[in-house]
């Protein structure tokens, strides 16, 4: 609650003190700063609300769509993140960071699918073919996690093949 009050005070103070270039709305600049600040402070709920209001007012604001993509990605709302990233790219396709984020999103989805599937791997009583499949499955999961720079201790746990 205190953080929200502080943010609102900063927005009000920033709105009064901001002098934008001709044609720029000082209130809009203040809203942009408040949305960026909320995101940097990790208040994703507030940041999302502010960015949605901003892109609702100015549909072509690509940074807003990029931030909404980041927020959705961090909250595991992948299809929504992908849609926001696509909106961001519609305005400026030359953003390699967004292309990277979209690829990271797909890697995350693949990793989560494989993690869910590990519950159904059984090594006891399996044929040689099934054991080989299980090893390859775990190896693929491990490589995806390496790509995402997952903690090495967790990787060791996942790499362990029960006997």
Q: What is the predicted pLDDT for the residue at 127? A: 82
CA atoms within 13 A on the CB side of 53: 14
CA distances from 14 to 25, 38, 40 (A): 12, 14, 17
Structural domains in the chain plus CATH codes:
29-97 (1.25.40.10)
Q: Please, are residues 69 and 85 in contact by the beta-carbon 8 Å criterion?
A: yes
Q: What is the pTM of this model?
A: 0.66
> Residues 141-151: pLDDT tens digits?
999 988 887 65
Q: Please, are residues 144 and 113 in contact by the beta-carbon 8 Å criterion?
A: no
d(CA 50, CA 38): 9
> Residues 68-127: pLDDT tens digits?
999 999 999 999 999 999 998 888 888 888 998 899 899 999 999 999 999 988 777 778
Q: What is the predicted pLDDT for the residue at 47? A: 94
Burial 47-60 (b: 16+ CB within 10 A, else e): bbebbeebbeeeee
């Amino acid at each position: 609650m205190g953080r929200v009050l502080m943010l609102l005070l900063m927005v009000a103070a920033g709105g009064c003190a901001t002098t934008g270039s001709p044609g720029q709305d000082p209130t809009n600049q203040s809203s942009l700063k408040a949305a960026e600040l909320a995101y940097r402070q990790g208040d994703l709920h507030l940041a999302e609300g502010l960015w949605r209001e901003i892109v609702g007012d100015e549909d072509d604001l690509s940074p807003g769509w990029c931030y909404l993509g980041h927020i959705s990605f961090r909250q595991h709302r992948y299809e929504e993140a992908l849609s926001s990233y696509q909106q961001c790219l519609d305005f400026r396709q030359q953003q390699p960071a967004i292309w990277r984020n979209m690829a990271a999103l797909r890697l995350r989805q693949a990793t989560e699918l494989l993690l869910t599937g590990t519950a159904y791997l059984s090594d006891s009583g399996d044929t040689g073919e099934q054991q080989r499949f299980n090893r390859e499955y775990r190896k693929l999961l491990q490589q995806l996690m390496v790509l995402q720079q997952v903690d090495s201790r967790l990787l060791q746990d996942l790499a362990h093949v029960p006997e």
